[in-house]
Structure 1
Amino acid sequence: MFDVALNVLPIFLMILIGWAVVASGYLKPEAGIALSEFVFKLAVPVLIFRTLAEADFHGAFPVRLWIAYFAGVAVTWAVGHIIASQLFRTDQRTATVAGVSAAFANNVFIGLPLVDRLVGPKGMVAVSILLAVHLPIMMVASSLLIERAERRDIGKQSEGWYALFRYLGLNLSRNPLVFGVLGGIIWHFSGIPLTGVPKIVADQLAAVAAPAALLSLGMAMRRYGLGGNAALASSSSVLKLFLLPACVLVFSKLLGLSHEWQAALVLTSSVPTGINAWLIAAQFRTAEKLAASTITLTTGFGVLTVMFWAWMVG
């Protein structure tokens, strides 16, 4: 367990440092915004590109990986929605945000650095394959469910499937992570080795992706906090930190994934709630405080629960 702590604690210490330099006034919040853009638009896409370009898949079948992860997401999301709507008697929009907050892991800013540190290259391949579909699936599901909830709560007229998928398509077509995934896959199957100057540049940018991502996340945490719905946010946090990784572990074993892929999926599902949960809530102007509180709680307690899951997967 001590060895696990030595590997997990630096991840969360980097987040704490990012938070402290902004909270103390040493750096302005705008610095965190700029660093986050660098991470999301350049460093992480290059890291994903390099990982997939150099990957050795050994005939692995990624569909089983996707099923294992998203089956866990579906179970956790459903439980979060039911608890919010039936136990806490919330409206359907708030229940949907509770579900997405419990099921939307911060795979990019925490999951990638964590898996890179604890599992290594084979684990990074698994996370990169997951990221190829994670954001599109989560965004589509969230948008569809919240729009459905709005129709049930306030009788809002549907804008139609075309308008929704056009909006999602435009957003995904401008998403740098999509470029990294597609570029890495194309380079991989081209058979051209990644060597020379392109290799050096890719390695240098990929090397700064993890620390920069963690620092930028900590700097961004200043804008969140415990904004309300403490009991419901605590419920969503427990589901996020325990139920989601437990479900992913069970489905990964049932589907016979390799040990490295199991470890990668469990670890990336065990990390705190991603900022995208708050962005989705803000986009639909519903339950923003619930999403923000869940992000804060899962990040605060995640240092302990991630160590537990890291120990569980060896």
Structure 2
Amino acid sequence: MSALLNVILPVFLVIGFGWVAARAGKFSESAVDGLMRFAQTFAIPCLLFNSIARLDLSETLDISLFVSFYAGAFAGFALGFLGGRFLFGRPLTDSVAFGFACMFSNSLLLGLPITERAYGSDALAANYAIISIHSPLLYATGILAMELARSRGQNIGGAVLAMQVLRAILLQPLVIGIALGFFVNLSGLTVPEVVQSALDLMIRAALPAALFGLGGVLYRYRPEGDAKAIAWVVAASLVVHPAITYGLGAHVLGLTTDQLRSAVITGAMAPGVNAYLFAHMYGVGKRVVASAVLIGTGATILTAWGWLHLLP
């Protein structure tokens, strides 16, 4: 019970404050959009830049960690896609959107604060290692799959498709922050103290602003229709992904305790808002994905509690 009260509920209370403020009309849609733009375009990229620049890459970038986590993520994508296509008879493009939602766990807005509150800030190295390739790898997979689904039957060259995927990935602010962090880390450059002080101010605002804004975003969504498809996406996200990660990490690949905690907790998070943004960008599967983000975020209160009890 202490894990629920002290670790998980404070995170969701901040989200809840944002939801209540939006519902009461004190937090307009334009204000929500502005806060989320600040968090996702500026503050969180600063957080990622700072964290990646300081990582001990030789200790942190462990292939076993990546295999454990991303095997679960890609299994989620397969389940979402196959379920959408063959169980629910949805078009290829909708099925890709379902798959993307199943694999794109909310590693930043939920995974980071819950892991930090549970195990302390010193336990986040594996979180940042996972996040360092999370957006580039999963966006590349989702965009490539979607472009292939959309171009089925059309004569689009491989070079054109590759450029479309590459451009979409490189324009992501999160990816830019991660890339700059790797550059500073590998080059041995030192961030000037005045710049570091400014970064620290941005970083302190990143997660609280993003969590409060997430509450406002979730208020817009209404769980309606397609109950079976929504349940399928939520189950793949909250159960299948972390279960595969736990099985591989604990019993096959021998992750350290810190690595296992970070990988499983990150994998156990609900589909991120980026899953809805992906569906919205292509105009497919929006109702199912939006509802899965909303319901999955609420269900994470209980499922994350369960995983915290299971983990060493």
What residue number does 2:114 align with? Answer: 114
Structure 1 225/160 Cα, relative in aligned 2: closer, same or farther at 3 Å? farther
Unaligned runs of 5+ in 2: none
Alignment deviations for residues 89-109 of structure 1 (CA, whole Å, 9 cap, x no partner): 333333322222222111222
CA distance in 2, matches of 1:164, 1:107: 28
Q: Does the 8 A contact of 1:5 with 1:307 survive in 2?
A: no
Q: Does the 8 A contact of 1:4 with 1:311 survive in 2?
A: no
Q: Does the 8 A contact of 2:60 with 2:125 survive in 1?
A: no
Aligned length: 311
Give the aligned residue type for 2:240.
L
Give the aligned residue type for 1:311.
H
Structure 1 24/173 Cα, relative in aligned 2: closer, same or farther at 3 Å? same
* 1:123 CA displacement: 3.7
Give the aligned residue type for 2:143.
S
Give the aligned residue type for 1:112.
L
3-state DSSP class of the match of 1:142?
helix
What residue number does 2:274 align with? Answer: 276
What residue number does 1:207 align with? Answer: 204
* 1:118 CA displacement: 2.3
Identity of aligned residues (%): 26
What residue number does 1:104 align with? Answer: 104
Q: Does the 8 A contact of 2:147 with 2:161 survive in 1?
A: no
Alignment deviations for residues 145-169 of structure 1 (CA, whole Å, 9 cap, x no partner): 2334345xxx541533322322232
| Aligned counterpart for 2:234 among listed residues 233, 237, 257 | 237
Give the aligned residue type for 2:3.
D
Farther-moved stretch of structure 1 (98-107 vs 184-193):
184-193
CA distance in 2, matches of 1:163, 1:117: 45
What residue number does 1:296 align with? Answer: 294
Structure 1 165/115 Cα, relative in aligned 2: closer, same or farther at 3 Å? farther
Give the aligned residue type for 2:145.
L
Structure 1 142/173 Cα, relative in aligned 2: closer, same or farther at 3 Å? closer
| Aligned counterpart for 1:157 among listed residues 154, 157, 161 | 154
Structure 1 159/240 Cα, relative in aligned 2: closer, same or farther at 3 Å? same
* 1:185 CA displacement: 2.5
Alignment deviations for residues 271-313 of structure 1 (CA, whole Å, 9 cap, x no partner): 1111222222223322211111111110121111111112222
| Aligned counterpart for 1:222 among listed residues 192, 207, 219 | 219
CA distance in 1, matches of 2:184, 2:144: 34
* 1:19 CA displacement: 1.1
What residue number does 1:132 align with? Answer: 132
CA distance in 1, matches of 2:171, 2:101: 24
What residue number does 2:307 align with? Answer: 309
Give the aligned residue type for 2:170.
S
Superposition pairs for residues 256-275 of structure 1, below 5 Å? 256-275=254-273
Give the aligned residue type for 1:238.
A
* 1:181 CA displacement: 1.7
| Aligned counterpart for 1:287 among listed residues 285, 288, 291 | 285
Structure 1 189/147 Cα, relative in aligned 2: closer, same or farther at 3 Å? closer
* 1:15 CA displacement: 0.8
3-state DSSP class of the match of 1:59?
helix
CA distance in 2, matches of 1:165, 1:113: 35
Farther-moved stretch of structure 1 (216-225 vs 173-182):
173-182
Farther-moved stretch of structure 1 (241-250 vs 135-144):
135-144
Farther-moved stretch of structure 1 (50-59 vs 242-251):
50-59
| Structure 2 residue 180 is matched with structure 1 residue 179 | no
* 1:54 CA displacement: 2.7
CA distance in 1, matches of 2:60, 2:139: 26
What residue number does 2:245 align with? Answer: 248
Structure 1 158/237 Cα, relative in aligned 2: closer, same or farther at 3 Å? farther
Farther-moved stretch of structure 1 (245-254 vs 194-203):
194-203
What residue number does 2:49 align with? Answer: 49
Q: Does the 8 A contact of 2:23 with 2:219 survive in 1?
A: yes
What value does the CA root-mean-square deviation take over the aligned residues? 2.2
CA distance in 2, matches of 1:224, 1:247: 29
* 1:58 CA displacement: 5.9
Give the aligned residue type for 2:283.
R
CA distance in 1, matches of 2:310, 2:158: 42
Q: Does the 8 A contact of 1:122 with 1:260 survive in 2?
A: no
* 1:28 CA displacement: 1.1
* 1:27 CA displacement: 1.9
Give the aligned residue type for 1:11.
V
